Structure 1
Amino acid sequence: MKSVNPYTNKLNKEYTNHQKNEINNILNEVDLAFHDWKKTPFETRKQLMHQLGNQLELQKEELADLIVSEMGKIKKEAIGEIQKCAWVCKYYADNAEQFLQNEIIQTENFESYVSFQPLGTVLTVMPWNFPFWQVFRFLAPALMAGNTGVLKHASNVPGCAMVIEKLVKKAGFPKNVFRTLLISGSEVKQVIENPLVKAVTLTGSTPAGKSVASVAGSVLKKSVLELGGSDPYLILEDADIKEAAKLCVSSRLLNAGQSCIGAKRFIVMEKVYEAFKDEFVRLMESSKYGNPNDEEIAIGPLARIDLRDELHQQVMSSVGKGAKVLCGAYIPDGESAFYPPTVLENVQPGMAAYHEELFGPVASLFKVKSVEEGIKIANDTVFGLGAGVFTKDKEKGRHLAEKGLDAGCVFVNDFVKSDPRLPFGGVKESGYGRELSLWGIREFVNIKTVVIK
């Protein structure tokens, strides 16, 4: 397993994959740890989780450097990612006990209530684009609920995977409460099927989600999936055009466009289309790419050369079918996995840019004559993760967000972002189940009914 710097295209380090006997030993050790961990009082769990959050904050610079070197995120965004991980640790440390309190249900019986009990060892299969945040938004609620965890991380961020395991140990958690498996994607099936694993969660592509769901279903194990997205943003006639363009560009370029909840399709009312397009393209063109450690840089390289090339192929395929390039759409010279901020218009059904997720700094513009037409295009996708609406009429925005757009989360006058206090997840081929908030911690518990006559 190799860690390659996408900016220099040079090898960081090679890691040895765990063999079958090592995998089984780790699963046995984590299962044994569960039987003690589930009995640990909430106050002890709380103290340990706070210590983990503090450890993240203390090491944020070096952890950010690791993110930069393994997947190319710009340094300031990498620091923000680590700080967000510390936030989710402290959020669940302070709220888990309340979220999992017994709920009394009044019946004719002497007593009846719902109790929330941990399931056991949960496998988490995570992607490279937010190599710490994606893991910690699972880790914090899962461990606070009394579960133990096993991580199968993306193969290009093994350094991040191993450091997360070390951080948990350093914070004082009991040995084997959270472990990393250095395995290939083809080995995930045998881990899910292992009787010691009680559930699985995956953040990643829709094909990967379907594969994991199929295996989990075949052995009747709970799964939660957070998959791809092609988030639409509606720009209404009364929107603040400059503010909308600024926020839309920020969302599209965050993490070099490699975000499942990044704004990807911009559906603009005809009367303000030209004004929005001019401002949007100006901001995209002026956003610099380069060394991710440079403070002046807006985006770094994509995570891998092959991912950059795949993105360019999607763009060129769309252009070949009639999409118009407003900026970008070329592969820069050099060894780095750079792709410039790119804007397409005249995107039509049948094009990759219309139907597929473009996982990089590429935006598609659509001009529509009515809100109804805009909603139709917005919802004409297999995905349903996030969406946005820009309008000065908050009630109209509320109505479109709640009743009009098919997505797991919709933001009005801002771009979609995850927050430990709010549930996060999608519909359609963007997955099922929820992470974060009360709903997230209750995904991997036994919701147990207790009746005393």
Structure 2
Amino acid sequence: MSTPTGYRVQDPSTDQVVETFPALADGEVDQLLAAAETAQRAWAARPIEERATIVQKVADLFEERKDELAQIIATEMGKRVTEGVEEAEFSSAIFGYFADKGPTFAADRPIETFEGGRAMIRHLPLGVLLGVMPWNFPYYQIARFAAPNLMLGNAIVLKHAEICPRSALAVQQIMDDAGVPAGVYTNVFATHDQIAEFIADPRVAGVSLTGSERAGSVIGALAGQHLKKAVLELGGSDPYIVLDAEDPAEAARTAWATRMYNMGQACNSNKRMIVSADIHDAFVAELVSLAEAMKPGEAADEDPTVFTPLSSRGAAEGLGEQVERARQQGATVHVGGTVTDEAGARFAPAVITGVTSEMDAYREELFGPVAVVYKVESADEALALANDSQYGLGGAVFSQDEAQAERVARQLEVGMANVNTPAGEGAEIPFGGVKRSGFGRELGPLGMDEFVNKQMFYVQD
């Protein structure tokens, strides 16, 4: 049986395709970009305060429609409904943040000059941008790309994941209802060839992708070939270092809740738990107990001991193959690690120990509900292990000795380092990585500093 392709709603609880959507017709790319280019110039010419009023309306509509939005992605990619509501609320907060702070972030920045005259940095839009977004956070990923760029005066062409057409259309409807002018935000059901056509077109000034390393390599190469600005947010295998804990079981419960959020399908999830030897066994025992208590359920279930489907049957089977390969190479799989459905995408949460640097799992990203725990004898060993990775998205260090945790966290080779919390998160907190986790930043003041012409403007006395 062939795997369905194209834009579709494929319920991961059953693996059934319930609706399909046609891709752009050949020739539509040119027409769409002509409209976007014209609309962008008019949008950029409006005062930023006017753009802010409309962007704030987008924020308001995300909040108003959060229950409906959550139901859509529960069907599309299996997200727990309560988490879908949280995602819509976070998206609202992001649009609201940039509506509020955008005029300040985009204001002219004076430069002290020793030559006389007046010098400043202006913040001007680049033009039409292409966004290529993933399925794991269908609204949040759009929000963090679209909000700052709409405020700047850029126009957006948005290509969502093929399994997220309804959520993509729901966001388009929000933009339209908020008063975003036609052509300033355009959802497209584009093919891979059409994406290449967009990037090659001189009317597209830049591209932002959140996705896999493989997709990032393709998009990054196309952007480079055509001399386009790119922002790439790619994979991660974030270290989560626990140097000590007054209550190892409680520390494990925090780690488990973090790992299970969105069924582990988050780029910056705590995929490598690095735990001091003196608390390791108690920590692992609690994780195993928590995993054993998990039972399959539906997206509407609010019980945290229920595991909902992964995004697709293929994703669940692929993760199962990774876990089985780790087992065959000598790791210990304490619990779970298998697909539990005959047809759907439910995957029994797993706990793995004994992974060594010779095993594939040491280098791979495990994108799902799998807790991999490493035992270390010292803070320095923990740090060396944490940094022995091709990825560099985020990381966290926990200790009752805050100074010690800070010392270690400051040496993490990541874009986001956290002390005594799984992750600092908020519309105001920048997001992005280093190494093979990509480049560029979204959210916070840095989020409005990417697709912008930082124009030097000098007036001689």
Smaller-chain TM-score range? Answer: over 0.9
Q: 351, 362, 365: which is aligned to 2:370?
A: 362
SS at match of 2:119: strand
Q: 150, 161, 166: which is aligned to 1:154?
A: 161
Please give the alpha-carbon distance, in whole angstroms, between the structure 2 residues aligned to 1:290 and 1:184.
34
Deviations 1:200-250 (A, max 9, x none): 010000111111111111111110011000011111134542332122111
SS at match of 1:86: helix
SS at match of 2:392: coil
Match of 2:3 in 1: none
Q: 118, 121, 127: which is aligned to 2:134?
A: 127
Q: Which amino acid aligns with 2:118?
A: E
Please give the alpha-carbon distance, in whole angstroms, between the structure 1 residues aligned to 2:204 and 2:295.
45
Match of 2:233 in 1: 226
Q: 8, 28, 32: which is aligned to 2:34?
A: 28
Match of 1:95 in 2: 101
Cα offset for 1:11?
2.1
SS at match of 2:102: helix
Q: 276, 287, 293: which is aligned to 2:300?
A: 293
Deviations 1:272-294 (A, max 9, x none): 11111112222232233311112
Q: Does 1:376 align with 2:384?
A: yes
CA contact (8 A) 1:46 1:144 kept: yes
Following TM superposition, the consecutive aligned residue runs of length 4 or more in structure 1 with deviations greater than 3 angstroms are none
CA contact (8 A) 1:30 1:176 kept: yes
CA contact (8 A) 2:208 2:231 kept: yes
Size of the aligned set, in residue pairs, is 452
Match of 2:50 in 1: 44
Q: Which amino acid aligns with 1:350?
A: E
Cα offset for 1:417?
5.2
Match of 1:145 in 2: 152
Q: 252, 258, 281: which is aligned to 2:259?
A: 252
**TM alignment of 1:262-273, pairs within 5 A:** 262-273=269-280
SS at match of 2:138: coil
CA contact (8 A) 2:131 2:209 kept: yes
Superposed CA RMSD in Å reads 1.2
CA contact (8 A) 1:238 1:391 kept: yes
Q: Does 1:274 align with 2:281?
A: yes
CA contact (8 A) 2:259 2:371 kept: yes
Match of 1:10 in 2: 16
Please give the alpha-carbon distance, in whole angstroms, between the structure 1 residues aligned to 2:295 and 2:260.
10
Q: Which amino acid aligns with 1:102?
A: D
SS at match of 1:359: coil
Q: Which amino acid aligns with 1:323?
A: A
Q: 357, 360, 365: which is aligned to 1:349?
A: 357
Please give the alpha-carbon distance, in whole angstroms, between the structure 1 residues aligned to 2:338 and 2:194.
36
Q: Which amino acid aligns with 1:142?
A: N
CA contact (8 A) 2:133 2:159 kept: yes
Match of 2:407 in 1: 399
Deviations 1:155-199 (A, max 9, x none): 111111122111100111111110011012343211111111000
CA contact (8 A) 1:318 1:353 kept: yes
Q: Does 1:171 align with 2:197?
A: no
Match of 1:57 in 2: 63
Match of 1:451 in 2: 458
Cα offset for 1:20?
2.4
SS at match of 1:38: helix
Deviations 1:385-434 (A, max 9, x none): 011111011111112111x2111112212112542111110000000010
Please give the alpha-carbon distance, in whole angstroms, between the structure 2 residues aligned to 1:378 and 1:281.
23
Please give the alpha-carbon distance, in whole angstroms, between the structure 2 residues aligned to 1:161 and 1:236.
42
CA contact (8 A) 1:343 1:364 kept: yes
Q: Does 1:69 align with 2:103?
A: no
Q: Which amino acid aligns with 2:377?
A: K
CA contact (8 A) 1:255 1:299 kept: no
Cα offset for 1:106?
1.3
Structure 2 residues without counterparts, runs of 5 or longer: 1-6
TM-score scaled to structure 2, two decimals? 0.96
CA contact (8 A) 2:237 2:271 kept: yes
SS at match of 1:338: coil
Match of 2:428 in 1: 421
Please give the alpha-carbon distance, in whole angstroms, between the structure 2 residues aligned to 1:238 and 1:61.
38
Match of 1:306 in 2: 314
Deviations 1:72-95 (A, max 9, x none): 000000000000000001000000
Q: Which amino acid aligns with 2:212?
A: S
TM-score scaled to structure 1, two decimals? 0.97
Match of 2:4 in 1: none
Structure 1 residues without counterparts, runs of 5 or longer: none
SS at match of 1:4: strand
Identity %: 37
Please give the alpha-carbon distance, in whole angstroms, between the structure 1 residues aligned to 2:428 and 2:307.
28
Q: Does 1:326 align with 2:363?
A: no
CA contact (8 A) 2:123 2:455 kept: yes
Please give the alpha-carbon distance, in whole angstroms, between the structure 2 residues aligned to 1:135 and 1:333.
31
CA contact (8 A) 1:240 1:391 kept: no
Cα offset for 1:61?
0.9
Deviations 1:87-111 (A, max 9, x none): 0010000000001111111112210
Please give the alpha-carbon distance, in whole angstroms, between the structure 1 residues aligned to 2:338 and 2:238.
23
Q: Which amino acid aligns with 1:341?
A: P
CA contact (8 A) 2:245 2:251 kept: no
CA contact (8 A) 2:244 2:400 kept: no
Cα offset for 1:47?
1.1
SS at match of 1:334: coil
